[in-house]
Amino acid sequence: MAKVYSVVSNKGGILKTTLCVNISAEISKKKRTLVIDTDGQSNVVVSFPTRNLDIKYTLFDCLANGIDIKETIINISEKLDIIPAGKGMNSFMKKDDRSALDLKAAIDSIKANYEYIFIDTAPSLNFAALQALVASDQIVIPYQAEGYGMLSILNTIKAIQEVKNSVNPALKINSIVVTKYDARSKVHKNFLKDIRTVSERLGIRLASTKIPQTFTGANSIFEEQTPTVLSKKWNKLKGIYSNLTREILN
């Protein structure tokens, strides 16, 4: 039965999708893995070789129109599948009280087919992100070492705690992951100290592996349409994402 992780933050541009697809792809080298995109920008789809595919159904079709979630699955490799979000996901909302459980119910119906499921979310604590929190076992929170990053972390943790208290008592934060980090920057070093202090005070693990500020990860996606860890080219990020994946799963 799969363990379900969501990568969540209400701040954009902090490598949330990049973390999600690289960790998932790294795991899929050995374990059956599914990536679910809940962000209407659909960046998970463009992270993989799907340009020539005719995508018939999306997660939006599942949640809004009752299409079986199995019909939305796209196979990428032997042990990796993805589910595209669909353009309507960012504005999607149902009004009945139990609708927040719809994604969980859909995931529960396919959990037995995978060992790990990762959910990518929009840079917003919207209804889709709420559904992801309800459906998850653990949460990974990316953090960019800058002024607005701390406020985003605190707001995200608050939302997670609210879901934990009301709907999903087993929910836990796996770790905070520092992204776009420049070890030469005094500003980044100061913000790193701040987030370390906050994580220790709240009892949340701060991953020791930090994702550096670089453009090579984006290049592999747009040039090869594949996450860095699956690229055929050498890239120091491969080892970094491999180390981070081991941390998260440990």
Q: How far apart are the first and last CA of the chain?
A: 17
pLDDT at 95 > cutoff 80: no
pLDDT at 9 > cutoff 90: yes
Is the residue at 178 inside a domain?
Answer: yes
Report the pLDDT value the prediction gives residue 243, as an integer from 0 to 100.
Answer: 97
For 193-214, write each residue's pLDDT tens digit. 999 999 999 999 999 999 998 7
Q: Which residue has the higher pLDDT, 131 or 54?
A: 131
Report the pLDDT value the prediction gives residue 3, as an integer from 0 to 100.
Answer: 98
Report the pLDDT value the prediction gives residue 220, as an integer from 0 to 100.
Answer: 59
Is the residue at 249 inside a domain?
Answer: no
For 33-53, write each residue's pLDDT tens digit. 999 999 999 999 989 988 777
Is the residue at 248 inside a domain?
Answer: no
Report the pLDDT value the prediction gives residue 232, as an integer from 0 to 100.
Answer: 83
How many structural domains compose the chain?
1
Report the pLDDT value the prediction gives residue 233, as an integer from 0 to 100.
Answer: 84
pLDDT at 216 > cutoff 80: no
Is the residue at 158 inside a domain?
Answer: yes
Lowest-pLDDT range of 92-96, 122-126, 166-170, 234-238: 92-96
Report the pLDDT value the prediction gives residue 114, as an integer from 0 to 100.
Answer: 98
pLDDT band at 215 (very low <50, low <70, confident <90, very high): low
Residue 196: CATH number of its domain: 3.40.50.300
pLDDT at 98 > cutoff 70: no
For 175-191, write each residue's pLDDT tens digit. 999 999 999 999 999 99
Mean pLDDT rounded to a whole number for the chain: 92
Is the residue at 235 inside a domain?
Answer: yes
Report the pLDDT value the prediction gives residue 239, as an integer from 0 to 100.
Answer: 96
Residue 234 belongs to what domain range? 3-242
Report the pLDDT value the prediction gives residue 96, as an integer from 0 to 100.
Answer: 56
For 106-115, write each residue's pLDDT tens digit. 999 999 999 9
Report the pLDDT value the prediction gives residue 246, as an integer from 0 to 100.
Answer: 98
Is the residue at 247 inside a domain?
Answer: no
pLDDT band at 88 (very low <50, low <70, confident <90, very high): confident
C-alpha–C-alpha distance, residues 6 and 103, integer Å: 12
Work out the average pLDDT over 19-28.
97
Per DSSP, the residues of 35-59 read: EEE--TT-HHHHTSS-TT------H
Report the run of H or E that residue 138 belongs to, with start and end.
Answer: strand 138-144
Q: Which residues contact 7 (CB under 8 A, 6 or more apart)?
A: 16, 17, 19, 20, 23, 118, 119, 120, 121, 139, 140, 141, 142
Specify the amino acid at residue 183: A
